[in-house]
Structure formats: C-alpha cells, structure tokens
Amino acid sequence: MRTKRKSNKPQIAVCSFEISSASSEVQLTPAGHFRALDGRPFDADSWYIDGAIAQVIIAQAAIRKTPYIIDYEHQTLLSEKNGQPAPRAAKFTQMEWREGEGLFATDVDWTDRAKKFIDDREYGFLSPVLPYRKGTGEVLGFMHAALTNTPAIDGMDEVVSLAAAKFQSDTTQEENLMNREELIAALGLSADASDGDIKTAIAALKQQAATADTQGQTIAALKATQFNPARHIDIETYNQTKDELVALKQKDHNAEVNVLVTAGLADGKLLPNQEAWARKLGESDVAALKQYLDEATGLAALKGSQTGGKKPAGAEADALSETELAVCRQMGVSPEDYQKNKAKEV
C-alpha cells in the first residue's frame, strides 16, 4: 500500500563525488553512513543507505516513465529563478546497488558536449540530489544530479531549498514513496523476502517491460508493411477496376448458364417450356441447375430435334408437336386419343 507521509517530512541532501571519465557507470551514493564536507546533515547524525533502502530506490527507477537527468550546476532547479536554459549533460534509467561501495547509475548516456567537458577536466564532480528522512537520515529516493566543480555544498543553500520546495510540492512523488514492506507487497513477495529476492523480482519487471516494448514495435512494423490500396492507386481507378471484375465475372456466369440450358434442351433434359425457369435457376444457383440436369432423364424423342419440340413451320394448328408425340410414345397413348383428350380440355 502506498502511504503519504505528512509528518517527519523528507529533507534534501546535496553532496558531491569526484568524476574522472564520462563512463556509462557513475556512483550516486556511498554505502552506509555519509556526510557532506561542510558537516551536513544538521538534522540527523548522517545520511544513510544500505542494500534494503537501495532496492526501494531501484524499484522506483524501474517503474519511472521518464529518465533521470544529469545537468550542469543544478540548473534544472535554478532555471525558473534565473531564466536560463537547463541543458542536459546525460540521462539514465537503471540503478544498481554494490555492497560495500554504494548506489550506481549503470546506463548513463552522456551528450558529446558533456563528454568533452569531463575528458578535458573542465568538470570534475557529480553532485546528486537526494531526499532523506529527518532524524534518521535514511535516503528515500533520487531526484537528479549535476556536473559541478563544487566538491561540497558550501554556498549551495539555495540549491538545497529549491530542491526541497520542488520535492515537497511534487505530491505525486511524495505519495508514491514506498518503504521496504510496501515494496515487497507490491512485488508480490513474501514478508521475509531477501534483498536478492527483491532484486530478482525487479529484474523480471524490467524484462517484462522490455519484452512488451519489443512486441509493440514488431506489431507496429507489421501494420506498416500491410498493403493499403489507398496508398498506391487512386480510389476512382480502384473502384473502376473492381466494377470491371464484377462485370466480367457475371458475364462468365451468364455464359455458363447459357451453355447448360442449351445442352439440356438438346439432350431432352429440359422441355421448351422449362427454359425460362432453368435460366432463372442458373442465375441464382448454377450448382443447383447442374445437379438438376445431371439427375434428369432426357426424352430420346427430343434429342437432336431441329424444332426443339415445337410445331414445324407451316404445320396445321391441330397437329401434335414433336414433344406431344414423344409424350404419346412414352405413355403408350395413340396420337388420336391424345388429340381427343386435348380437345376436351380446351
């Protein structure tokens, strides 16, 4: 559970460590008890950090969305007052505790300008700004650091007061300070978890975050490579081509239906009065038309008929058509009887 501490409000420590090269690893605190050269802190015996305290600070760094900044002469704190820009000398996101040595930043990314300043020995000290608990001196977190040539905090009361004001006004940061028990609970570990357990859990969180970022980048790359017609051809040409393909497909469909119906009439599988029905069926479901023709039994008398079962030109009105004659033969009825019955029906 996150706890907002209203009493024993955190104070600010500003100290300095000598820096001789623009390495990717820089020391942020020593291990154990430490003080500034001018005697600070005055409200505690000393500042203090150990492995357990460090793991809490490392966890805060692991869940932080923006990198920590190293600037010049703490200008990040002073810029609002003096109106000057606050250029960045470096940034980092990862921290590591080294037993007996202290807390280190391990992925420091220096600017070319800062590298030159350090290599040319124009800057020789790194000055971290750390919130701590009054009375105990326990380091509670990390704010930022600065390249400086002041090896102690003599004359830096203004920096301390500005840092304290910024830290204490940052309610989000203050509310998110976690003690060791809260950190263990947040990581889902048992109450008796060791420093090693905490370190392993934090490493797992970092790996999960890195994996999620990689997966997100892969998905974005795949989306970017998907073909989008709108990016390659104008929409009018695309629609015209689509309409032409639809028309061509319909033309082929109609041709297929025509072939099936013509063959059905020729084979005697379709009677002339079934032609319109067969064409309509083929337009809606050509597979059904094919199935019907496959299963139909053709009338032999209609196969090869030049009139398709219709009365020959010039034939008398009362003469039977070839289809009617074929029906007579199939049913064993004489043309005369069929004619008589037909006349009765009329």
pLDDT (tens digit, 9 = 90+) per residue, 192-244?
777 777 777 777 776 666 665 566 666 666 555 554 555 555 667 667 777 77
Q: Which residue has the higher pLDDT, 247 or 132?
A: 132
Confidence class for position 172, pLDDT limits 50, 70, 90? very low
CA distance 25 to 3: 32
CA distance 54 to 106: 14
In the predicted model, is pLDDT for residue 159 greater than 50?
no
CA distance 64 to 2: 15
* Full-model pTM: 0.47
Angle at which helix 275-284 crosses helix 235-266, to 10 degrees, equals 140
Lowest mean pLDDT among 54-68, 115-129, 246-260: 246-260
Collapsed DSSP state (helix, strand, coil) of residue 264: helix
Residue 5's pLDDT is 43
Q: Read off the DSSP letter of residue 106.
A: -
Token digits for 259? 């072939």
Whether 99 and 120 have beta carbons less than 8 Å apart is answered as no
Token digits for 200? 């392993």
In the predicted model, is pLDDT for residue 83 greater than 50?
yes
CA distance 9 to 133: 7
CA distance 206 to 159: 33
